[in-house]
């Protein structure tokens, strides 16, 4: 079963981290990806750019309305994700607890819905 692990943290606090600490978090995340790959549980993972680089798109009356970010009034923003294979929610939560971003923020665990007909 596939799960998405959404990593959230306070971007403002993250920017105050030393380059060494940022590199260590990234290296540990990459290491986790390799461990998961060895176990057949890795599907994909990536950090994302800060919320200020985002766009929110809505379609109203057939016309797209684009709002530049950030637009969510919360301290924690999405920082990245892991897409994994796990046998159940318990295993996915155990993997989420190994995500380095969990030490500085929150990891949200959600099962990915399987939809027939998707490529």
Domain that holds residue 7: 2-111
CATH number at residue 101: 3.30.70.1060
Q: Please state the φ and ψ torsions of residue 100, each to the nearest 5 degrees.
A: -55, -35
Residue 31, in any domain of the structure: yes
pLDDT of residue 35: 98
Structural domain includes residue 65: yes
pLDDT tens for each residue of 64-91: 999 887 666 667 888 999 999 999 999 9
Distances (CA, A) of 74 to 40, 63, 64, 81, 110: 35, 28, 25, 18, 20
58: nearest Cα among 73, 50, 68: 68
List pLDDT tens digits, range 35-56. 999 999 999 999 999 888 888 8
């Amino acid at each position: 079963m596939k799960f998405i692990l959404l990593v959230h943290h306070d971007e403002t606090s993250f920017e105050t981290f030393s380059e060494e600490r940022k590199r260590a978090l990234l290296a540990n995340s990459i290491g986790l990806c390799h461990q998961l790959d060895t176990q057949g549980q890795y599907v994909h993972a990536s950090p994302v750019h800060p919320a200020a680089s985002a766009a929110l798109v809505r379609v109203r009356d057939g016309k797209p309305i684009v709002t530049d970010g950030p637009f969510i009034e919360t301290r924690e923003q999405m920082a990245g994700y892991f897409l994994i294979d796990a046998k159940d929610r318990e295993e996915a939560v155990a993997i989420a607890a190994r995500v380095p971003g969990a030490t500085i923020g929150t990891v949200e665990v959600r099962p990915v819905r399987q939809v027939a007909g998707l490529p």
